[in-house]
Chains A and B, each alone.
Chain A
C-alpha cells in the first residue's frame, strides 16, 4: 500500500500519526511524509534546524520525506497555487491512502492544508484526517483508529527529536501518552489494559479487499 501523510509543519505528522506511520512502515507499506512549510517567514524556529529534525524522524519512522517549503505566511488561507502543487504531488505519487489535518482544526495553516488536500484528493481511494493536540478542536469526531501500543515509544522518541519545539506543552511525552491511552479506551477497539491508539476521521474509504501486501520489516535507524 502506498501511503501519503501530509502535514503543514515539520512535526505535525509525527504528532498526529507518528505511531501509525511506524506501523505502516513496519508492515511494508510505502510511506511518504510531506511537509508543506518549514516556517520561512514565520516564528517557529530556524527552518534549517526544522528540516534536519524532520529528516531524522522520517528516517526513524521509515518514511520518505518530501519538503515543499511553501512560505508559511502564504498558507494563512487556501490558494489555487498551493492547491495545484498538492494536486500535482498526489497525481504523480498516486497513493492509495492520504492522511492530513482535520478540517476541525483552528490553526489557519492546518486548515489551509486540509482544504487544499481534500480538494486535490478526489481520485484518491482513501482520505483520513488526523488530530494534533495543539489545535484540533472538539468537533473532531474520530471513527478510525490505529493501535500504536507497540509503537508509542518510537513516536515519543521522534517528537523529542524536534528540539526547536521541545518547550511546547503538546510535545511533552506525558501529553502524548495520555491522549493515546484515552483514544484507545474511547475507541473500544480492543481490550489491552495499557492500549494506546491514534485517532482519525474518515473522509472516504474505498476498500479493495484483494489488495495484497507483502509483510516485511523495513525500519530506518532506531
Chain B
C-alpha cells in the first residue's frame, strides 16, 4: 500500500501523524512525505526535515516551498498533483479542510483537488476545532515508544489515550483522524 502524508511543515506532519506513518512504514507500506510550505524558509530546512524523517526510515521526502496560500489556485493544485501522480497513493493524510488555520485550510483544499481519484483521505487538525470530527484511529501497541520529536500539549488534540472499543486491545493508543473518505474492502485492513 502506498501512503502520502502532506503538511505545511515537517513539524506539523510529525505532530499530526508520525506514529501511524512510522508503524505503516515498519509494516512494509511505502510511505511518502510531502512538505508543501508557503514560506521561503520553513520551520526546518529541507536537510533538517529529511534527516528527521530518516530517523524513522522514512526516506521518500518531497519538499515544496514558496507556495502562495493566500487563495486556492489551480497552479498549486497542479504542482501538488504532479507529485501525487508519481506516488499514486492509496491513502493520504492531510490537514482538515475545515481547519481554523487559514494556510492549513488552503493547503487542504488544494490537496483535495490534487488528490481526486485517491481512494482514502484522512484529515488531521492541530488546533482545538469544534468542527473537526475525528472518527478514525490507528491501533498502536501501548508498548510502542512515542515517536514524536515534539509532541507537546499545545493543541495536540488528536492524540487519544482512550479508545472506545474493547478490541483488539484495551490498551491501544491511537491518533485520531477525520475521515474525508475511505475506500472500503480495498485493502487487507480496510
Contacts and interface: CB of A to CB of B under 8 A. Distances in A.
Interface residues of B, number: 34
B179 A143 contact: yes
A200 B136 CA distance: 14
B117 A189 contact: yes
A145 B181 contact: yes
Interface stretch (B47-55, B146-154, B164-172): B164-172
Given A146-B184, A189-B118, A213-B188, A205 B167 contact: no
12 contacts: A29-B185, A144-B181, A188-B181, A204-B164, A206-B138, A206-B139, A206-B172, A207-B138, A208-B168, A209-B24, A210-B189, A211-B189
Nearest to B178: A143
B182 interface: yes
Interface string A83-106: 000000000001010000000000
B86 interface: no
Interface of A: 20, 23-24, 27, 29, 94, 96, 122-125, 128, 143-147, 187-191, 200, 202-213
Nearest to B115: A188
A124 B120 CA distance: 22
B52 to A, nearest CB: 23
Contacts of B138: 206-209
Contacts of B103: none
B180 A190 contact: no
Interface of B: 20, 23-24, 27, 29, 116-120, 135-139, 163-168, 172, 174, 179-186, 188-190
A145 B118 CA distance: 12
Nearest to B139: A208
A205 B136 contact: yes
Given A125-B165, A125-B167, A190-B119, A204 B135 contact: yes
A144 B182 contact: yes
Contact of B185 (A146, A190, A203): A146
B179 A144 contact: yes
Given A123-B167, A144-B179, A191-B117, A211 B136 contact: no
B188 A212 contact: yes
Contact of B182 (A23, A122, A125, A202): A202
Contacts of A125: 139, 165, 167-168
Contact of A207 (B116, B117, B167, B190): B190
B22 to A, nearest CB: 11
A147 B185 CA distance: 8
B143 to A, nearest CB: 14
A140 B173 CA distance: 30
Contacts of A143: 179-182
B116 A210 contact: no
Contact of B119 (A128, A189, A208): A189
Contacts of A206: 136-139, 163, 165, 167, 172, 174
Contacts of B186: 146-147
A118 B118 CA distance: 30
